[in-house]
Structure 1
């Protein structure tokens, strides 16, 4: 997993000062939580909301971090399945960005929140 790169990308996107986070498990937990927060915010956001683009950017960045943090060699099928989930969420966020009423952000929120719960029990 490329945690240093993920941390750098997240920091650039949010300017959140994550340099103190060295635990990869914590970094993924934080990223999953940020993605969930963004997805929930996007469900109620309208086209004229000033924070719309910032929220979309943060959601895409969180998804990118999660996807690039996967280790396909060690993770095998689990990594492949997680990538598919993240890719589904990315496609739904992209649909929402285009104001597509068929964007299924609620399904993304559910699966990401389930992952947050499962992730909290791993360590």
Structure 2
């Protein structure tokens, strides 16, 4: 395991993202892309504990960001449906983390990929 120095961590965090952080549409898109990437990596690297733990933590954080960004008052049924899909994905990640064979990362990745595809069509 390589340990980054505090200076390296700071430098990494200060890098400019490839999107406008003031644009909520781009932030959600980036979060969805990051979630799809981490779900895919989790499915591929489930036998590598350290790598798996890193990607599962990132996936759960992405899901939390997506769930907490929903506006249920203005979003209505769509916001509720998205919350349920995000929650389904969260449950699949947790199942796999607990070595529960009923966890289905591929199904979760597919559901989030469909949301991402729809998000691309919005703007």
**TM-score under structure 1 normalisation?**
0.82
Structure 2: which 5+ runs fail to align?
1-11
CA separation of 1:62 and 1:119: change in aligned 2, threshold 3 A: same
Number of aligned positions between the proteins: 110
Q: Secondary structure at the match of 2:99?
A: coil
CA separation of 1:15 and 1:64: change in aligned 2, threshold 3 A: farther
Q: Secondary structure at the match of 1:50?
A: helix
**TM-score under structure 2 normalisation?**
0.82
Tell whether 2:75 aligns with 1:75. yes
CA separation of 1:88 and 1:60: change in aligned 2, threshold 3 A: same
CA separation of 1:85 and 1:16: change in aligned 2, threshold 3 A: farther
What is the aligned partner in structure 2 of residue 115 from structure 1?
Answer: 115
What is the aligned partner in structure 2 of residue 25 from structure 1?
Answer: 25
Instruction: Answer with 1 or 2: which has the greater Rg.
Output: 2
Q: Secondary structure at the match of 1:89?
A: helix
How far the C-alpha of 1:15 sits from its partner, in A, is 4.0
**Cα distance in 1 for residues equivalent to 2:24 and 2:14:** 17
What is the aligned partner in structure 2 of residue 106 from structure 1?
Answer: 106
Q: Secondary structure at the match of 2:50?
A: coil
More relative contact order, 1 or 2 (CA 8 Å, 6+ apart): 1
- 1:1-123 alignment, distance < 5 Å: 15=13, 17=15, 18=17, 21-123=21-123
How far the C-alpha of 1:22 sits from its partner, in A, is 0.9
